[in-house]
A = this chain, B = another copy of it.
Amino acid sequence: MHHHAMEACIQACLDCHKTCLATIGHCLSMGGHHAEASHIRIMMDCAQICAVSADFMIRGSDHHAHVCRECADICRACEQSCANHPGADDAMRACAEACRRCAEECAKMAA
């Protein structure tokens, strides 16, 4: 494992955490189907697992690869929920992009 790759992954996780948490507020403010339970829930899942993946890497945990693998899966599901949403707007597309990048970096760590 290269230290540089891990640092990039930690940063991608923290970016995705921030973006998902901010997008939850955005979607709740939009209301209607932006605020549907399943969409908000996957963004809550993603914000939380990204923060946890970052922590496992920062701590140098032996278990970071498994947590990163799970994080990549959840990021991909969140990306889909944002990108394919019927009311997808700029904030949601930015969230989908943060999720895509984080999934990509976490998949490298999980390998």
Give the interface of A toward B (CB within 8 A).
10, 14, 18, 21-22, 24-25, 28-29, 31, 35-37, 40-42, 44-45, 48-49, 51-52, 54-56, 58-63, 66-67, 70, 73-74, 77
Contacts and interface: CB of A to CB of B under 8 A. Distances in A.
A29 B37 CA distance: 5
A59 B21 contact: yes
18 contacts: A18-B54, A22-B59, A24-B44, A24-B59, A25-B59, A28-B35, A28-B37, A31-B37, A41-B60, A44-B61, A45-B61, A48-B52, A52-B52, A62-B77, A63-B73, A63-B74, A67-B70, A70-B70
Given A31-B35, A35-B31, A41-B25, A66 B70 contact: yes
Contacts of A62: 42, 77
Given A37-B25, A37-B29, A70-B67, A55 B59 contact: no
A45 B36 contact: no
